[in-house]
């Protein structure tokens, strides 16, 4: 019975090949571009769906305490202070985890945040906390220079890096530790960036960005297994990073978090995200500082992965809508305005639902404000990206960096 079946299938092969050849012969350039446009934007729709589903089922899980988990050394690089610094740091001093140490890293004893940290250490004498001052530079990357002494002095097998602007929930450390210890080959776990509810237009704008366009790429990328960690709040196994040469091995790379994940993956380790988002709680966000921050990230992506130049400008709502409307109109003669309206409402609705997932409930923003900030972000993203292309040098803190293709720093200029 098998022989006639396979014979029938084989007899169809020449016909299938002939039909494909006819299809290719009848395709013109415009039709091919239209098909490509539908496939490209369809993939963006699929990213929305993946992000919404993965976020819904993965985020905000409740963690039960587990005394069998190893200790965690929490490295806190700090430069300067703001109104929320004490609140953010206090959330770590009062975290609900059975064994951890806080390692505060400063470039200088004259930093304005040093008295804040010393006061908290005195207030919570039962918490194991140490202050480190940078003694020398190991490379170009100032964050690595800042953290390396604390990394070398860390006494626990799990290392958490947490920026000073991060507020942690009581079970935040537990969530990260439990997630990374759930599999032997997990080497790096990060928290998806989000924001605390704060007042102020710039703060709300930042929250909409991290709850929509950033969140969907981050959630879908992690589900699909891409390397997309974030350095603002992450945990890794120290033994795994030692296989890569330790923290000092990344001294001359910008975006050290990306290269942590890349080098760990090359050694067979996996990356992932925790169940709790990272809650950014800076008191000094402005529209300018946000644009500079996002622009800096764009410059680094261009340097590390030049192919994003072709894709990134087209992945936002309006460029994608134009591509889909024109493509479907050409292929099926459906009116362009109707196609664009359908696309627009699908896109913004999915973004709104994804942000609700990050928020773990209703948004504190009124719907009209969400729409306004969302629209402003969509319209401003192209401007930020073009500016990043035009001025590739990266300004961070008091330094200007020139970055080679691949992400390695060529030189650094202090300003």
The superfamily (CATH) of domain 66-191+232-284 is: Spore Coat Polysaccharide Biosynthesis Protein SpsA; Chain A (3.90.550.10)
- Ordered by start, the domain boundaries in the chain are 33-62+196-225+286-414, 66-191+232-284
Taking the CB of residue 284, how many other CB atoms lie within 10 A of it? 14
Spatial neighbors of 248 by CB under 8 A, at least 6 apart, are 138, 139, 144, 148
Structure tokens at 48: 């929305």
Cα-based torsion angle of the residue sequence 145, 151, 152, 156 in order, rounded to the nearest 10 degrees: 180
Buried/exposed code over 353-366 (b: 16+ C-beta within 10 A; e: otherwise): ebbbbbbeeebebe
Q: Please report the pLDDT score of residue 7 as a whole number.
A: 64
CA-nearest of 320, 317, 313, 284 to 388 is 313
Residue with tokens 């305490």: 65
d(CA 49, CA 24): 32
d(CA 37, CA 16): 25
Whole-prediction pTM: 0.92
Spatial neighbors of 250 by CB under 8 A, at least 6 apart, are 139, 141, 144, 256, 259, 260, 263
Q: In what order do the strands lie in the sheet with 193-195?
A: 166-167, 278-280, 193-195
CA-nearest of 379, 357, 377, 375 to 367 is 375
Our CA angle for 229, 232, 233, nearest 5°, is 75
Q: Which residues pair with 253 in a beta bridge?
A: 408
Q: Is the dihedral of CA 245, 247, 249, 250 positive or negative?
A: positive
Our CA angle for 259, 260, 266, nearest 5°, is 85
Query: Three-state SS for 293?
Result: helix
CA distances in angstroms from 13 to 6, 7, 10, 356, listed in the order given: 11, 10, 5, 50
DSSP 369-384: HHHHHHHHHHHHHHHH
Structure tokens at 373: 């900030």
d(CA 410, CA 168): 35
Q: What is the pLDDT along the chain (415 residues), one digit of tens a residue?
A: 445 655 666 676 776 677 566 656 767 888 889 889 999 999 999 999 999 999 999 999 998 999 999 999 999 999 999 999 999 999 999 999 999 999 999 999 999 999 999 999 999 999 999 999 998 899 999 999 999 999 999 999 999 999 999 999 999 999 999 999 999 999 999 999 999 999 999 999 999 999 999 999 999 999 999 888 888 999 999 999 999 999 999 999 988 999 999 999 999 999 999 999 999 999 878 999 999 999 999 999 988 888 878 888 899 999 999 999 999 898 888 899 999 999 999 999 999 999 999 999 999 999 999 999 999 999 999 999 999 999 989 988 788 999 998 889 999 888 7
CA R_g for the chain: 24
Please list the active-site residues: 257
In this structure, what DSSP letter does residue 254 have? S
Q: Residues 120, 93: contact at Cβ < 8 Å?
A: yes
């Amino acid at each position: 019975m098998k022989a006639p079946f396979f014979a029938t299938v084989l007899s169809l092969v020449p016909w299938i090949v002939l039909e494909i050849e006819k299809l290719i012969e009848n395709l013109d350039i415009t039709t091919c571009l239209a098909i490509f446009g539908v496939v490209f934007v369809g993939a963006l729709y699929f990213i929305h769906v993946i992000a919404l589903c993965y976020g819904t089922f993965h985020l905000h899980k409740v963690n039960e305490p587990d005394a069998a988990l190893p200790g965690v050394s929490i490295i806190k690089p700090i430069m300067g202070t703001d109104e929320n610094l004490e609140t953010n740091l206090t959330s770590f001093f009062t975290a609900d985890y059975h064994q951890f140490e806080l390692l505060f890293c400063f470039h200088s004893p004259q930093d304005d945040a040093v008295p804040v940290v010393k006061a908290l250490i005195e207030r919570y004498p039962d918490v194991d906390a140490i202050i480190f001052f940078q003694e020398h530079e190991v490379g170009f990357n100032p964050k690595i220079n800042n953290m390396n002494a604390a990394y070398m002095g860390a006494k626990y097998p799990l290392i958490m890096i947490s920026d000073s602007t991060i507020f942690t929930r009581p079970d935040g450390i537990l969530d990260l530790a439990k997630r990374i210890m759930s599999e032997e080959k997990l080497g790096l776990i990060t928290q998806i960036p989000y924001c605390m509810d704060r007042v102020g237009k710039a703060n709300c704008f930042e929250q909409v960005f991290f709850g929509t366009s950033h969140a969907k790429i981050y959630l879908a990328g992690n589900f699909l297994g891409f390397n997309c960690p974030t350095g603002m709040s992450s945990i890794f196994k120290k033994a795994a990073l030692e296989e890569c040469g330790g923290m000092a091995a990344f001294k001359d790379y910008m975006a050290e978090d990306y290269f942590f994940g890349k080098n760990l993956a090359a050694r067979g380790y996996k990356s992932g995200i925790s169940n709790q988002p990272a809650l950014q709680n800076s008191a000094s966000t402005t529209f300018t500082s946000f644009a500079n921050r996002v622009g800096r990230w764009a410059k680094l992506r261009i340097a590390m992965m030049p192919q994003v130049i072709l894709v990134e400008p087209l992945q936002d709502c309006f460029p994608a809508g134009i591509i889909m409307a024109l493509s479907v109109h050409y292929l099926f003669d459906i009116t362009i305005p109707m196609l664009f309206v359908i696309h627009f409402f699908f896109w913004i609705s999915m973004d709104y639902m994804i942000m609700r997932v990050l928020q773990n409930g209703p948004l504190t923003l009124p719907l009209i404000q969400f729409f306004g900030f969302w629209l402003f972000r969509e319209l401003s993203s192209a401007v930020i990206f073009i500016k990043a292309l035009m001025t590739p040098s990266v300004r961070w803190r008091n330094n200007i960096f020139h970055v080679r293709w691949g992400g390695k720093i060529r030189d650094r200029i202090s300003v």
